[in-house]
Amino acid sequence: MEEVCQSLNALYVHIKQLLEEAGCDSPAFDASCLLEAFFGAGRGELPLRGEERVSPQSYRPLLAAARERADGRPLQYILGQWDFLDLTLSVGEGVLIPRPDTELLCETAADLLRQAGAESPRVLDLCAGSGCVALGIARLLPVAEAVAVELSEEALPYLRRNIERYPALPVTAVQADVLACAVTPAAGLRPDLRPNSEAFDAVVSNPPYIPAADLPGLMREVRREPRMALDGGDGTVFYRAITGGWLSRLKPGGFCAVEVGIGQAEETAALFRAAGLTGVGIRRDLGGVDRVVWGIKP
């Protein structure tokens, strides 16, 4: 693009074409998001502001961001934040990007907690990442409080930042290894994270669940997300750890609910039943995929 003053319409068309040629899945949407981030001109405003002209000095950062997107950097990382439910969460390299599929886990957990009728339910969120699940449940059910457990040194700053962004939501971050603590609790863990504490009304998780063998075939943008947040070993490692150890933190009558990948719901449900959970259920997402599995501790 020639370095002269350009209209917002011209910039939009240029960026959209750049992203189309790079093979991005949603070039029009991504171009709109970038234009809104840098100039406050979202898709709804472009018809009104499209002829507004901006200088090369003003639009160079926008073009640099568009080139990053064309090179496969996730849009969410470029923007530095992403919406989840009605929250806006900080994201970037080192943390899993919140997705609409995971909103279903929050909604399911909130529904089950309402049905249980606890006055001040406590939720344990394992593999918390950005904190979207813990914060989402607390947002949907204001009487709930949550403990968000995350191991990654790269993800923890985002988790803490997002908790700080919403001080009215009672969410606490704890650094711990979900796999190790399912067997032997690490020193320094809060007492209510130790075995047989029965301190929680719900244990929830969106754990790494993609089989390691499938990782090379993921979309290039997804491969830019942290492997630690994606790699589920054989696909069941974390579900087995949760049912094998973390259910001891549940109160009788409490429930466990997890997000699962495509084709994993029935196997996960079988693990829940084998662990003694009752009333095991499966909920589909808007795409018709079995996405959330839950069960109740007798």
Q: What is the mean pLDDT of residues 259-286?
A: 97
When the pLDDT of each residue in the chain is averaged and rounded to a whole number, the result is 94
Give the pLDDT of residue 38: 94
- Over residues 204-237, the pLDDT tens digits come to 999 999 999 999 999 999 999 999 999 999 999 9
28-63 tens-digit pLDDT: 999 999 999 999 887 778 888 888 998 999 999 999
pLDDT score of 12: 93
Tens digits of per-residue pLDDT, 152-210? 999 999 999 999 999 999 999 999 999 988 777 776 778 888 777 779 999 999 999 99
Pairing of strands 122-126, 81-84: unpaired
pLDDT of 187: 67
19 or 195, greater pLDDT: 19
The SS3 of residue 252 is strand
Cα distances from 63 to residues 37, 44, 153, in angstroms, run: 12, 21, 31
Question: Amino acid identity, residue 7?
Answer: S
DSSP state, residue 191? G
What are residue 122's DSSP bridge partners? 145
Tokens of 45: 């405003």
In degrees rounded to 5, what are phi and psi of residue 16?
-60, -45
- % of the chain at pLDDT higher than 70: 98
pLDDT at 189 (0 to 100): 78
Q: Which amino acid is at 128?
A: A
Quick check: helix, strand or coil at residue 238?
A: helix
Predicted local confidence at residue 2, as pLDDT: 60
Task: Yes or no: say if 35 and 44 are a contact pair by the CB < 8 Å rule.
Answer: no
Q: Report the predicted TM-score, pTM, of the whole model to 2 decimal places.
A: 0.94
